[in-house]
Amino acid sequence: MHSQRQHQRSDLVRIATHVMAERGLEPEFSRRVEQQLAAITGPGRDDGPDVHDLTHLLWCSIDNDDSLDLDQLTVCEPLPSGAIRLWVAIADVDALVKKDTPIDAHALLNTTSVYTSARIFPMLPDRLCTDLTSLNPAQDRLALVTEMVFNADASLAGSTVYRARVHNRAKLAYDAVSAWIDGEADLPDAAAAVPGMEAQLRAQDALAQQLRARRHALGSLDLETFQPRALFKGEQVVDIRQQVQNRARQLIEEVMIATNGCTARYLASQGGASLRRVVRSPERWLRIVGVAKDYGEVLPDEPDSKALEAFLAKQHRIDPLRFPDLSLVIVKLMGRGEYVVEVPGGAPIGHFGLAVRDYTHSTAPNRRFPDLITLRLLKAALADEPQPYSNAELGELAQHCTRQEDAAQKVERQLRKSEAALLLESRVGERFDALVTGAGPEGTWVRILTPPAEGKLVGGHSGLRVGDALRVKLVSTHVEHGFIDFVRLD
């Protein structure tokens, strides 16, 4: 059905709040959290001898345009023979958010920040995650630093982890940095104002591209899932745009993957358990083989990430328009990521999609609770103190974080559907170019190209296959449930 009332941003906030609670997530902070927050007077401080002073380095952050919860900074320097030293600083959230406090309990309940275009539901109160525990520009902050040295071929020569004070010299955004790297725009003003920052960014980008090439040679999968983002003008949704991968996003992705590997190996070297992020070798591999066969490609009978990556890369070159839909099929067949506990001497599971064996989430403690857990494990190991969590606790936390992260993703997906329905509710009767994205007993689904939105085909779906191009007419929307219905025209 098509509602006569024009929905607004406030409706999306209401829907998001309801879906949060429905999925077992807490959208609001309790009075006890507010009381603890009021007692915090400033950012974390520690002048102990184990805290290195790295405030002189040319640190920068690169994140989304509207990101205020800055978790990581990066800086590098060239070394002889083409080697490079890279430092990655991660916000020391534990300096202000201690285990078993009310703020920690809220973070533990949700386990992640939930991002919708209408409202962000932060894991930590705004005053912390966007200010006192955020690595904001022109501020000294406590951080956990992973220092890595890479050889000229981008192989890892060694790494170490320690506590430090850092100072963000430039707050940068993905799209602006990427446009500059690609020669399509000038160096962003925040970077241009810092002598030496241009060379910094060039060096970090070059290293990231080397790291990316090494991972792909090992079979890391390059997937491109459908993640549209609503744009608002006041209370109205005025557009939806697909988030595109670019060089700046790749830069941060690669150095964070490298950091996560180093922190996982450091914890293992200290003889303690760690919380790992894994994607298991696909149990439904033969289904993936069948998908490739439909495209005229042959994959081996046993899981092989290199062969799968070669197939995906070829399809991306041949048909970039339909690649997000193929990516989604592969993601579903591979199975979701999950958190597990690994102990020294245990059989590693690894991350099939990233083609890495040692991987933990450690780089976003303002936004993800597993990263805060890892931060505490690292700090305890550095101080030669007992682990703050028993192995049994870690096992329970792994299962809980997996469940809650899955719930948060469902909230975000539901709101993307409602955002699209809101944008399209005034366009019922219009015609669009579309692609078939799903066809089965439960129905046929299509994705229109402009604006990028998905919906159900409620008429004229016989004989269609995934990937078919067609013209459709929008016949109804339902913002509350995120329903968008089309009929086929030809």
Higher pLDDT, 332 or 76: 76
Q: Given pLDDT bands bounded at 50, 70 and 90, which one contains residue 153? A: very high
Contact at 8 Å (CB) between 467 and 459? no
More reliable by pLDDT, 334 or 369: 369
Q: Indicate the pTM of the whole model.
A: 0.91
Q: Give the Cα separation of 340 and 343 in Å (integer).
A: 10
3 band by pLDDT with thresholds 50, 70 and 90: very low
Do residues 458 and 486 touch, judged by C-beta distance below 8 A? yes
Q: Flag whether pLDDT at 392 surpasses 70.
A: yes
Per-residue pLDDT tens over the stretch 30-40? 999 999 999 99
pLDDT of 223 > 80? The answer is: no
pLDDT tens for each residue of 245-288: 789 999 999 999 999 999 999 999 998 889 988 877 777 888 88
CA–CA separation, 463 vs 468, rounded Å?
A: 10
Residue type, 216: H
pLDDT, one tens digit per residue, over 442-489 is 889 999 988 889 999 997 777 888 888 899 999 999 999 999 999 999
List, by residue range, all CATH 2.40.50.140 domains of the chain: 428-488
pLDDT value of residue 1: 44
CATH classification of 428-488 is 3.40.605.10, yes or no? no
How many Å apart are CA 189 and CA 181, to the nearest integer? 14
Q: How confident is the model over 381-407, as a mean pLDDT? A: 95
DSSP codes joined into one string, 278-337: EBPPPTTHHHHHHHHHHTT----SS--HHHHHHHHHHHHHH-TTTHHHHHHHHHHHH---
Place of tokens 């296959």: 465
d(CA 89, CA 61): 10
Query: Which CA distances in Å does 115 have to 121, 135, 239, 461, 469?
Result: 6, 20, 18, 34, 32
Q: What is the pLDDT of residue 427?
A: 92
Burial 252-272 (b: 16+ CB within 10 A, else e): bbbbbbbbbbbbbbbbbebeb
